[in-house]
Structures are given as C-alpha cells and as structure tokens.
C-alpha cells in the first residue's frame, strides 16, 4: 500500500515540463487546483481534462504513474462520493430504503470525484517532474516576500525538503523491516482489525527508531557543515526564468481563460 503513493516520487526523464522552472510548475499547479474549484460545469472540466492531457503528454511520464497515486485515495474518494450522493437534499431520483439519491447529489458527487481525481493527478504531474529539491527551492523563492512579516520561509522550505527526501528512504526502510519480520513468519495480512493493528507493532517500533536515528545523524551532519538557517545563504543553482517559462505562464493563463469562457459559452447556449 505504502509503495503506491507517488507524491514525492520523482520520475527521471527529460521533457519540457521537467526543464521548467519549479516556480512555474508550483504556480501552475496552484492555479490548476483553484481552477478546478472555480469551474462549475461540465465545460470547464472538459477544458481541464484537455489541459491535463497535454501536460501529461509533454511530461513524458507514463500515465500509469499518475494513476498509482490515486490508488491511495480511492477510499477517501469513495466516502466523499457516497456521502454527497446520499446526503444532498434536493429533487429525489431514486429511493433505496431510507436513502435517497437526488439530482443535486449526483451532480455534486460527480463533480467532486472529478475534482479530486484531477487534483491528485495534477499534483502528481508536478511531483513526478520536479525533484524535491527544485520544488522547495521554488517554494522558498515564491514565499520570500513573507519573510518581511517574520515567517521563517527558509526553515519551512528546508523542513519540507527533508520531509520529502525522507519519504522514499522511509518507504524503503519499511519494506526492509517488513521483509525481515516476514522472514520471522510475521503475518501482516490476516485477522481482524485489532489483530492487524497489533501485527504492525513489530514494523512500527523499528521504523520509528530508525527514523529518529536518521534524523539525529542528519542533524549532526548539517551542524558539522555549519548549517545555521537561511540568513545570507546563497544558492548553488539560483533560479532564473527562461523563455519557455514565460511561454508556460502564458499557456496556463490561456487555459484559465479557456475554462472560464467555455463555462460561460455553455451557459449562454443552454
């Protein structure tokens, strides 16, 4: 299960999307997510789907990898869809025992499902095409103005990059410990909920210990190299916008305009 989460998993390849400035990708992702909630109607989602398809195509990351991230949230998705389906008041369509499906419920459930799917795929595109380091660099730059109001932007960015870096490490570690315990005939699969939860102890205790050990080692290594936070710290690879980044910005704005226009047009025609 753990291995299926794609967030924070970089897919190594060379593409236009990979080469974009991380700030562009961050901003585009945020705008894309906002757009998903602003668009209210099928037309907007068609535009979003087309936009997403183009970006995925350009990124050269196999589509399977984006869908992998979805597996982890399928349960969440199911719950939200079911709740919306049954609990939205409105014009009843079908009645099953004490549950009624309404027209508004169907609409809401479908839109929510689309939104969540696109949201996960959209952010997966970003994390699959951007290394965690680039990502936090970009975030640090974008949030720099907040330093004026004493937000520790650099520290937050550093914490994020460390957290992201640790995801694959800890996943690998989990895999290793799991195998080691399975070699001692541990059973992680059968039994009821309580038994299953109990069976995780031999996995979680070593995992936590190893996480603390690694954190300790990392802190020492950083201090040994005189790390002391973000003041006056320079970058080895400062971020610069290139031509393709401006084009990408234009493309994203074009997408937003198209999405809004499509929604309006459909409203006019209907």
Contacts with another protein, residue ranges (CB under 8 A): 12-13, 62, 176-177, 179-187, 201-202, 205-206, 209-210
State the Cα–Cα distance between residues 85 and 151, nearest whole angstrom.
Answer: 41
Closer by beta carbon to another protein, 147 or else 176: 176
State the Cα–Cα distance between residues 135 and 158, nearest whole angstrom.
Answer: 11
Question: Residue 84 Cβ, how far from another protein at the closest point, in Å?
Answer: 36
Closer by beta carbon to another protein, 159 or else 169: 169
147 within 8 A of 176, measured Cβ to Cβ:
no
The DSSP bridge partners found for residue 96 are 99
Closer by beta carbon to another protein, 65 or else 83: 65
State the Cα–Cα distance between residues 223 and 179, nearest whole angstrom.
Answer: 34
Question: Residue 180 Cβ, how far from another protein at the closest point, in Å?
Answer: 4
Closer by beta carbon to another protein, 87 or else 201: 201
Question: Residue 125 Cβ, how far from another protein at the closest point, in Å?
Answer: 17
Alpha carbon of 240 to those of 19, 20, 60, 180, 246: distances in Å? 12, 10, 23, 46, 11
Q: Which residues, 6 or more positions from 15, have their beta carbon under 8 angstroms from its beta carbon? A: 58, 59, 60, 61, 129
Closer by beta carbon to another protein, 155 or else 172: 172
Question: Residue 16 Cβ, how far from another protein at the closest point, in Å?
Answer: 18
Question: Residue 195 Cβ, how far from another protein at the closest point, in Å?
Answer: 12
């Amino acid at each position: 299960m753990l291995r299926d989460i794609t967030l924070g998993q970089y897919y190594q390849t060379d593409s236009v999307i990979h080469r974009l400035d991380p700030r562009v990708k961050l901003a585009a992702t945020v705008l894309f997510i906002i757009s998903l909630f602003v668009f209210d109607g099928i037309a907007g989602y068609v535009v979003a789907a087309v936009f997403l398809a183009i970006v995925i195509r350009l990124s050269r990351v196999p589509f399977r990898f984006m869908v992998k991230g979805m597996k982890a949230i399928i349960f969440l998705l199911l719950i939200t869809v079911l709740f919306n389906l049954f609990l939205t008041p409105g014009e009843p369509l079908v009645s099953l025992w004490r549950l009624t499906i309404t027209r508004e419920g169907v609409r809401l459930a479908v839109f929510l499902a689309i939104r969540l799917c696109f949201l996960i795929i959209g952010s997966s595109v970003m994390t699959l095409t951007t290394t965690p380091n680039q990502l936090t660099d970009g975030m640090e730059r974008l949030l720099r103005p907040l330093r004026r109001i004493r937000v520790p932007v650099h520290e937050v960015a550093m914490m994020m990059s460390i957290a992201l870096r640790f995801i694959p490490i800890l996943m690998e570690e989990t895999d290793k410990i799991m195998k080691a315990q399975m070699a001692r005939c541990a059973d992680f699969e059968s039994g009821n909920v309580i038994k299953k939860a109990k069976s995780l102890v031999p996995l979680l205790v070593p995992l936590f210990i190893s996480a603390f050990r690694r954190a300790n080692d990392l802190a020492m290594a950083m201090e040994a190299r005189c790390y002391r936070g973000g003041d006056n710290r320079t970058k080895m690879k400062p971020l610069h916008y290139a031509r393709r980044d401006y084009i990408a910005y234009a493309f994203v704005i074009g997408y937003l305009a198209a999405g809004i226009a499509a929604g309006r047009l459909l409203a006019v025609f209907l």
